[in-house]
Amino acid sequence: VNMQTEDHVPYVKDDQQKSCGKMQVLVGVTGSVAALKLPLLVSQLRLLPGVEVKVVTTEHAKHFYNPEEVSVEIYSDKDEWELWKKRSDPVLHIELRRWADLFVIAPLDANTLGKIASGICDNLLTCVVRAWDTSRPLLFCPAMNTAMWQHPITAQQISRLKEFGYVEIPCIAKKLVCGDEGKGAMAEVSTIVSVVKQHLQEPVKSS
């Protein structure tokens, strides 16, 4: 990756860039079937005025969407390690946390939920979370099978994330892709987009 080219946005985001009214939204995607909706989510977010989008993906999430249907840059673990060769090179997860005004993780699967709740950062996405400036909004959209959802650890981990100041976009009940019916499905894309919009309109707190 070369983040220095025109549309790769510079490493350091300064206040000047902020004042031009552009809002930079980072979408995190993890290995839930709801990752199928990534292309739709990205295209809907890009319809918001002044919004620029980038994606950070886990390896398992890649199984569910076609990158050709996603019209923005998608970063994954390989990029993180390829970008850094020597001391002066940028560290991708730090560049991304600087770049983003808002981080929305949609879907957030059970595995990554557990990792975030306990501070584990073993891939690009969880490193961005671990390095996140908590004065900026971090929204998360859980998505998992009903049985996973009902496990008592889910509620504990979700409350932990809320204690960190992250915002839950709650899952909904519906017939899941696996055939089970009940709570655990990711919120509708339209809901996610409207919550993102709401948080972008709030004044950005300085870090």
Using CB under 6 A as the criterion, what x/- string covers residues 44-73 for binding ligand FMN? --------------x-xx------------
Identified binder of ligand FMN from the candidate list 111, 146, 191, 194, rule CB under 6 A: 111
By three-state DSSP, how is residue 142 classified?
A: strand
Site for ligand FMN contains 144 (CB under 6 A): yes
Please tell me whether residue 116 binds ligand FMN under the rule CB under 6 A. no
Q: With CB under 6 A as the contact rule, which of the stretches 26-34, 96-104, 133-141, 158-166 interacts with ligand FMN?
A: 26-34
5 phi and psi, to 5 degrees? Answer: -70, 165
Contact status: 109 vs ligand FMN (CB under 6 A): yes
Among 3, 25, 26, 33, binds ligand FMN (CB under 6 A): 33
Core vs surface per residue 43-71: b (16+ CB within 10 A) or e: ebbeebeebbbbbbbbebbbebbeeeebe
Residue 171 designated active-site: no
Q: Edge-to-edge, what's the strand order for the sheet holding 138-142?
A: 74-75, 51-57, 23-29, 102-108, 138-142, 167-168
CA angle 46, 143, 29 (to 5 degrees): 45
Query: Residues interacting with ligand FMN, by CB under 6 A?
Result: 30-34, 58, 60-61, 109-112, 143-144, 148
Return the active site residues: 178
